[in-house]
């Protein structure tokens, strides 16, 4: 049976004279969509909740940003992931800055994130509370895990900035109260990469062999002065908390002032806030 000319097509596709809509290949259309999206939107700032976060062995991060009505795939390439000021995790509300693009191979669009920040102090506190509850549920903050400090440590390892006032304060107090050998493991105490280096220093002290060329500390002090929650955030990162909890050497958290609280305080064997009116490294117990 012959089909009418306006029925929607015949058995074979035919190019007709004057046809101004030639058939595009899938690749041609996909690339046209890609150019349109990248040109029309350029850089965008997107607010949403992280979902399905995964960090690939390559260092690239993949996740979705969602709100109550939609979700969008997102990727952070390794070079950008290394500069993030916090470690992303599911449930965190963030503002991501980046470029929209498409992935023609799967007919998807996504945002390539270049910068990501928590969406205000409320989001920061929500993330902190979520992390605290999760680590507490694992038993990392249990009082039964806390050890007595050595009465007269022969060697103390200090993880801190070598240029700050805190190390001078520690050395002065130890000289007055407990003359001993001090080994400083220098680290940045805030900003990009600080948490990774602090955790590595704690684990590094723990890995020193007894009777080796470098004396093994009898006690570790992790220290920095006070500051805002953003300044102290490295000591709320999971890798630092776990390193403190797993340290084979008793550990004091001397992070922040009396009113400052970070998650390393809960995982340490003892807390000693800096700049106390009557300071004593060995007299204050960790908050629980």
Residue-wise DSSP of 174-198: HHHH---EEEEEE---SSTTHHHHH
Q: Which residue has the tokens 């979705």?
A: 64
| Alpha-helical regions (H) of the chain | 26-41, 78-81, 121-137, 165-177, 194-207, 238-246, 263-267
Q: By C-alpha distance, which of 83, 74, 78, 79 is closest to 57?
A: 78
How many CB atoms neighbour CB 19 within 10 A? 9
Q: By C-alpha distance, which of 223, 222, 219 is closest to 153?
A: 219
b (16+ CB within 10 A) / e for 142-181: eeeebeeebeebebbbbbbbeeeebbebbeeebeeeeebe
- Which part of the chain is CATH 3.40.50? 146-271
| CATH class of the 146-271 domain in this structure | alpha beta
pLDDT at res. 148: 92
pLDDT at res. 13: 64
Pairing of strands 93-103, 219-224: unpaired
pLDDT at res. 18: 61
pLDDT at res. 284: 41
E-only strand ranges, 68-129: 71-76, 93-103, 108-118
Segments in the chain below pLDDT 50: 1, 3, 276-288
pLDDT at res. 226: 87
Q: Tell me which architecture the domain covering 28-124 has in CATH.
A: Beta Barrel (2.40)
Pairing of strands 108-118, 93-103: antiparallel
Integer Cα distance of 110 and 65 in angstroms: 10
Give residues with Cβ within 8 angstroms of 160, minimum separation 6: 166, 167, 170, 184, 186, 187, 189, 221, 222, 223, 224
pLDDT at res. 242: 97
Q: What's the maximum distance between 2 C-alpha atoms anywhere in the chain?
A: 106
Q: Is 173 left (phi over 0), alpha (psi -120 to 50) or beta?
A: alpha
Q: By C-alpha distance, which of 48, 128, 141, 135 is closest to 87?
A: 128
Give residues with Cβ within 8 angstroms of 117, minimum separation 6: 85, 94, 95
Integer Cα distance of 253 and 141 in angstroms: 13
Integer Cα distance of 244 and 253 in angstroms: 9
- Which part of the chain is CATH 2.40.50.140? 28-124
Integer Cα distance of 238 and 49 in angstroms: 19
pLDDT at res. 20: 66
Integer Cα distance of 94 and 198 in angstroms: 25
Cα 232 to Cα 26, 119, 188, 195, distances in angstroms: 51, 18, 11, 10
């Amino acid at each position: 049976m012959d089909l009418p000319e306006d029925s929607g097509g015949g058995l074979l596709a035919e190019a007709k004279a004057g046809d101004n809509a030639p058939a595009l290949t899938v690749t041609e259309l996909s690339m046209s969509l890609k150019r349109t999206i990248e040109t029309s939107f350029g850089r965008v700032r997107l607010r949403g909740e992280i979902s399905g976060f995964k960090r690939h062995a390559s260092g690239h991060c993949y996740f979705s940003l969602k709100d109550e009505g939609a979700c969008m795939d997102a990727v952070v390439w390794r070079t950008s992931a290394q500069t993030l000021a916090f470690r992303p995790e599911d449930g965190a509300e963030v503002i991501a800055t980046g470029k929209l693009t498409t992935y023609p191979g799967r007919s998807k669009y996504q945002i390539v994130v270049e910068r990501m920040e928590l969406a205000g102090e409320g989001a920061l506190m929500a993330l902190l509370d979520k992390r605290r509850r999760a680590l507490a549920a694992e038993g990392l903050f249990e009082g039964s895990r806390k050890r007595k400090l050595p009465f007269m440590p022969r060697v103390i390892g200090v993880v801190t900035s070598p240029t700050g006032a805190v190390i001078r304060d520690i050395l002065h107090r130890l000289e007055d109260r407990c003359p001993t050998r001090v080994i400083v493991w220098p680290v940045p105490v805030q900003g990009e990469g600080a948490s990774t280096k602090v955790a590595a220093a704690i684990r590094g002290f723990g890995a020193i062999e007894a009777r080796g060329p470098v004396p093994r500390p009898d006690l570790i002090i992790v220290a920095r002065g006070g500051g805002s929650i953003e300044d102290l955030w490295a000591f709320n990162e999971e890798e630092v908390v776990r390193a403190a909890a797993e340290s084979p050497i008793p550990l004091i958290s001397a992070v922040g002032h009396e009113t400052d609280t970070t998650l390393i305080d809960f995982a340490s064997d003892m807390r000693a806030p800096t700049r106390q009116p009557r300071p004593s490294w060995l007299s204050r117990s960790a908050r629980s």
